[in-house]
Amino acid sequence: MTATQFTLIFIVVLASTSLARLWLARRHLVHIAAHRAAVPEAFREKVALADHQKAADYTSAKTRFAMLGILFDAALLLAFTLGGGIQSLADLCNAWFDSPLTQGVATIVAVLLLSSLLEAPFSLYRTFVIEARFGFNKMTLKLYLIDALKGLLLGALLGLPLLFGVLWLMSAMGSYWWLYVWLAWMAFNLAILFIYPAFIAPLFNKFTPLQDEAMKARIAALLGRCGFTAKGLFVMDGSKRTAHGNAYFTGFGKTKRIVFFDTLLERLSGDEIEAVLAHELGHFKRRHVLKRIVLTFAMSLGFLWLLGQLMQTEWFYQSLGVHTPSTALALLLFFMILPVFSFLLQPLMSAYSRKHEFEADAYAARQTAASDLVNALVKLYQDNAATLTPDPLYSSFYDSHPPAARRIAHLQSPRLQSN
């Protein structure tokens, strides 16, 4: 393949992907607008029309803004590649540093920092305009900036040693460097799973042990029935950033924790909280977390092998606006264009995730009353302003959870109700 040929392929695929994403977003907007006037039949007894319309307007606002982001992302990628942005930053870093390893790290960091800076206005608008307009944002500008600074410092503390190690392995381990990098990447991610609950998450939120003794007893009984152990039950002060509610497991092995947003505990009844927790337990009992980790690692191995083949060709660099090949620029180019070429994997990954959600719901229905999980989900849809009427095709591409109507119908099916 020649550089010109791959440049043409890249432009065509980027344009096609961007247009497909815009078309899907437009379908989503039209579908939501067409169903805004009435609450779906399955929810009319539980969801007020005003709440349904708020969810429609909130989802539409986010989708319209996302369409602008699609165009911006495409333009930024073109500027970095065919526009020569990466090469210009590489030339600048090469003039400042003597070591090829340091030059490579500096170039990647420069691209990441510049991208973050250019994308910051989008994040600010999303948080302080869209989220605030619909009553969800609780974050002050000061807290936003503090979070950004903490994230930057944490990224430097954890990311820079990893980046130095990856680039060193790429240059020192010969033709099988991709295997060594993959092993290092796996070790890094598994280490993060262990240290995140106790050391990383508390940097951003306050976690306090659950104090409600009655709730603790209910949860302990549920954990006993499910054969599950956790290091602790914690309440997170999510309300200082957002009005959205959630509950989740975090950690791995003996570091597993159960975390509830304070907003969730305020909104749901004891039976409903138990049902939500049973759903999360279902993910562990069905080994969904392990399956996703294995899938992620398998895909990363395949991608690193592919990078190993591409970085040996001159056309890969030249076709993307780089005329000084290096391992760092190969790594940077590959993972910048990967989302463009892997777009069609999105619906497959979403379908896989939705399958897990159905399985976790079925598990919860065996451990608690399915009606309690239905009631909890309806409240969460209302509180989070999640639309009840997403476009089916849009949902199949992007939604990691089943649409509300399908999920509720599954939980109300005679097969689950009889368990």
Q: What residue numbers bound the domain in which 101 lies? A: 1-419
CA 107 from chain centre, in angstroms, equals 26
Higher local confidence (pLDDT), 155 or 258: 155
Q: Stretch 29-58: mean pLDDT, rounded?
A: 92
DSSP class per residue in 224-240? HHHT---SEEEEE-GGG
**Is 277 within 8 Å of 268 (Cβ atoms)?**
no
Rg (C-alpha) for the chain, rounded Å, is 24
Chain centre to alpha carbon of residue 301: 20
Encoded tokens for 240: 């200082």
How distant, in Å, are the alpha carbons of 78, 132, 268, 334 from that of 243? 37, 10, 14, 38
List the catalytic residue out of 272, 280, 357, 372.
280
> Rounded CA gap, 263 and 240, in Å?
10
- Residue 350, judged by CB atoms within 10 A of its CB (0-12, 13-18, 19+), counts as middle
Question: Could you confirm whether 361 is annotated as catalytic?
Answer: yes
Q: Is the pLDDT of residue 241 over 80?
A: no
Distance CA 79, CA 158 (A): 28
Of 142, 139, 117, nearest in space to 129 by CA: 139
Distance CA 152, CA 138 (A): 22
**Mean local confidence (pLDDT), 261-270:** 82
What is the distance between the alpha carbons of residues 187 and 370, in angstroms, rounded to a whole number?
Answer: 39
Cα 400 from chain centroid (whole Å) = 10
Six-digit token string for 117: 């800076």
Q: Once rounded to an integer, what is the mean pLDDT over residues 142-160?
A: 93
State which H helix or E strand residue 77 sits in.
Answer: helix 49-80
Q: How many CA atoms lie within 13 A of 360 on its CB side?
A: 22
Closest CA to 63 of 390, 393, 351, 392: 390
Residues 196-203, mean pLDDT to the nearest whole number: 84
Parallel, antiparallel, or unpaired for β 257-261 and 232-236?
parallel
Q: Which of 272, 361, 383, 391 is catalytic?
A: 361
Write the pLDDT tens digit of every residue in 355-398. Answer: 999 999 999 999 898 899 999 999 888 888 889 999 999 999 99
Binning pLDDT at 50, 70 and 90, where does residue 205 land? confident
Distance of CA 58 to the CA centre of its chain: 19
Give tens-digit pLDDT for 276-331.
989 988 988 899 989 999 999 999 999 999 999 999 999 999 999 999 999 999 99
Tell me the sheet residues that pair with 261: 236
Overall domain count for the chain: 1
Q: What mean pLDDT, rounded, does the chain reach?
A: 90
Residue 212 among the catalytic residues = no
Rounded-to-integer distance, Cα 290 and Cα 115, Å? 32
Question: How many percent of the chain have pLDDT more than 70?
Answer: 97
169: which residues sit within 8 A by CB, 6+ positions away?
Answer: 177, 180, 181, 184
Closest to 269 (Cα-Cα) out of 333, 201, 215, 226: 215
Q: 135 — phi, psi (to 5°)?
A: 80, 20
Query: What is the helix (H) or strand (E) element at residue 258, kind and residue range?
Result: strand 257-261
Helix (H, G, I), strand (E, B), or coil: what is residue 234?
strand
Structure-block tokens of residue 411: 């939980």
